[in-house]
Structure formats: C-alpha cells, structure tokens
Structure 1
Amino acid sequence: MGISRPRPIPVPSRGRTAGRLTAETEADITLPDVLGSEIATVLERRIIYLDIAPDARVTEQEVCDEFNISRSPVREAFRQLESTGLVVRLARRGIRVKELSVADLDDIYACRTPLEGIASGLAAKRATKEDLATMQGHLKAMQAALKAGHVREFFLHNVGFLTVMHEAAGNKMLVRILSVIEKQAMRYRYLAHIEDETMLLLVHQGLTEVYAAMAARQPAKAKAALVRTMMQSQKTIRGVVRRHLSSPRAADA
C-alpha cells in the first residue's frame, strides 16, 4: 500500500510548553522530557494512521530537522514509542516502525478481547447518563460518517466510543493496560477500516448492540456483544493484513 509522508505538524514552542507546567511538575519533569512527549504524540499519530509505513526507518536527524530541536527530546520520544511497541531498535538498522504481522495481531487480540469484555461489563454497571449520552453521540456520528464515506471520521468516533466506555468502567488499572494495547491495535484496525468496508459495518452494528446492553444495565449481555464484535473484527483484520502483506505494493512501500 503506497503511504505518503504527511505535512509537518507543529508542536508547542519551548515557551508555551514551559508555560503550561506548574511549579510542582517543573520539579519533576525536564523540558526535553516534555518536548519528547509532544514529539512522541505526533509520531504515534502518524504511525497509527499509516502515514509512516510499517518497517519504515525513522532517524533522529530527520525528526530534529523537521521540528528544529536537539537530539535529546527526540531520543526521549523514541524511548516512549519503543515502550508502547510502535517502533523497534534493530542492530545496524536503527529505529524502525514495527512491521505488521498476523501473529502480532493475534497476540494483541488475545489480550485485547477479554479486557474489552471486562470493560464493557463494568461500564454497563457504572456508566453515568452523561457517559451513555456521549457514547450514543459517537454512534450517531459513526453512522453519519459511514453514509458520507468518511472513513477516518468514522474511525475517530469508533475510538471515541471505546475511550468513553473504558473510562466509564471505573477501573484505572484496566484503563492503563488497555491504553497500551489500543495503541498496538489501532493501526491494524485503521488499515482494515480503509481497506474493507465490511469492517465499518460490523463495528457499528456491534457497538450499537454493546451500547443497548449498557443502557439497559445488562453487563453479561454487553460483555458478550463486545467480545463477539472483537472476534469478528479480528477475523476481518486478519484477512486484510494477509492481503496487505502479499501485495506487491507492500513490498515496495
């Protein structure tokens, strides 16, 4: 799949970044760490949305030149991306975006599916009226985006729905674990969204069922619907990844 490099995304200047810090956080966080987090967020977004291709090499110098910063925050950004598994450091090959593979996808979903099921069950018990209203809003926006053919907009609201559901579950450790797994899963999910329209249809239908069960305060039903949706999604994504990896375009990317 041909993937082009995006236009540069500006990050806050040193003055504005420092201005956001309180006296308490300034004692614990150095400026390069803050800038490193900003850069990591930008690169993370590009990797997830496939603007930087799987297995592409990313150099410190390229990032330094683009954002006009020193190597210290860039190295911090790379460390953060390594910790979430989005990039790997290889001997004599430098920093590269982690390749896509069916085996990696299966490992991700072996963890993600049961945890998402737990989150949906807890959210069915604990979600507030405001949480449910926000999730319903994401579902309506997904439907509108689906009709308009706006895949990225659909995906953003898909992510938004799950984010609200995670927070509504009320388990901070679960949210932390899922946030890391989600970063690993998102580029697989996004690839399936842009390559296979059935992914959008099954996700919207599945999350609609999950929402109905949560709104009815039926934890077991919400969990079952979420797990079923995850399993169906994984099957669809596996097919997309196989086609992607066997495509001549993937070999040339």
Structure 2
Amino acid sequence: MLLLFGSLSLAGPALGKDSSDDEDGAAKPPRAVPNIYLDLQTYYTTLPSGALGIGFRNFTALPALSSPASQTVSVNAPITLDLNDRVSVYGGVSSSTTRTDATSWTWLTADSRNIGFQADVIQQNGGSIPTVTLQSTLSRSIASSVLATTTLTSIVDFDYALDPDETRGLLAGVRYVSVAVDSDLARIKPSIIGYLGGYYQWPSNWKLSGRFGVQSFGGAQILALTPFQPFTQPIARFDLERLDDDDNRLFGLTAEISWVPKPAYQLTLRTPLYAVKN
C-alpha cells in the first residue's frame, strides 16, 4: 500500500541536525557513534472502492488494490543508523492487516522488505542556498507470486530556513514512485508528486509542518481487472513532531489526504525506539 504524496516532511528516518552552534560560538563536535534506533511507524489507511493507493510515507512494495472500500493497518520497523548529521541508512520489514466492506480483518502478515538512505547533499547553514535532501527507498514483496513487485521511491526535498536556528522555513520537493511487476500480466506506471509547504518549531521543540501538492499517476492494468485510469489530483499532509534539543525525533503524528482520484486518508504514528542516541 503506497499512499501518494511526497510527504512533505519526507517520510524518511528521523535524521537529526544541529540547529545552532554553542553559545560560545564553537561548533558542536562530530558525532562519535551513530544514532541507532528502530524507527517504528504505524499507519492507518482508508481507501475508497475501485482505488489504487500509491502515496507518501510508507515503504510497502505492493500497491494496495481496493475493489470494495478498505481499511488497512500497517507497521513498518526499519533499523535506522544516523551516521552523522547529514546521512542516514535504514532497512527493515513492513507488515499489514486489511479489512473490506465484505471481509473481516486478515492476520497481520509481513508483506515487504525495504532498504534505503537519506542524505543532505547541501546544507543551508545560514546561507542563501536551501538545504537539499535526497532520499531513496527500494522495497520488495516478500511473498512469491506472479504479482510480486519491486518499488523504487525517490525524493528530492528543498528546505529554506527563515531564521538562523532553523525553527521556521519553507519546503518544496518532488517525489517519484516506480513500480516493477515480475509478470507481464500487470503493469503499473510511475507516479509523481510535486509539493510546497512550510514549518514552524516552538521553543518547546514541538514542530508543525504542512505540505500541499499535486500527484500525477500514469495508470495501471492488473490481470483482467478494469484498468486504473491516469489522474492528476491534489494531496495534502500535516506533520506534528516532538524533537529533542539536537533535533532527534522523539514522536511524530501525520495526517494525510490524497485524491486517488476519490479521497483516501492516512494517519501515521511514528515512535522511534533508540538503542543509541547522541
């Protein structure tokens, strides 16, 4: 199940970055060991009947196919290493359970594995050039079937801070999702999301972000089912996060609505479990 939007606040790992130097002007020392944590993400998603979900935050390799209206609860738990303030790598397994108007909840089953990275290739650091972040996630279906898929999700995100402490700023980005099906019986064309947004962080380290954009999907043909027609529709996402003084994420809550082309909703709870935290 992918729900489409370049999640505005990037659906990636809890990559932290120092927002300012020490009061005496000296730069903070480099991190001796990486942050190591289980970036636990729990999703609740609703899809209307006849919709194909392909969205922002989740790493699920097989797009959710919904003939009747459906509800899905997914758990993604990648082990994440923040190698430094600019680069994170992660990998893990996603599981899900689904119900429709005609069926009860299925057993929670592992459905995909994923691996990826996130990197700040340019950092603003008080300058006029925004921070540029790249993220790429490769996901693969676990179950062997003719409809097994491999999904590559790539994001380019621009973050322009409006103050030296980077507590408020503007966001922009593009998200590209490509799905390859093992069999010629199905074909899913890429989806692209472009978005604009902004964020504000309070002195208490609560941070609110909002992203608004447009998603364009090329359509899909799966077995003998009616083709999923191409569409271009709006998408919106809001993120509420609790950070520590070094901008490590402690808690996150995301609400997203996308039109696929009917409205679909996703609520995400993000609770990183740290083994090592600097």
Greater helix percent: which structure? 1
Task: Decide which structure has greater strand share.
Answer: 2
TM-score by length of 1: 0.22
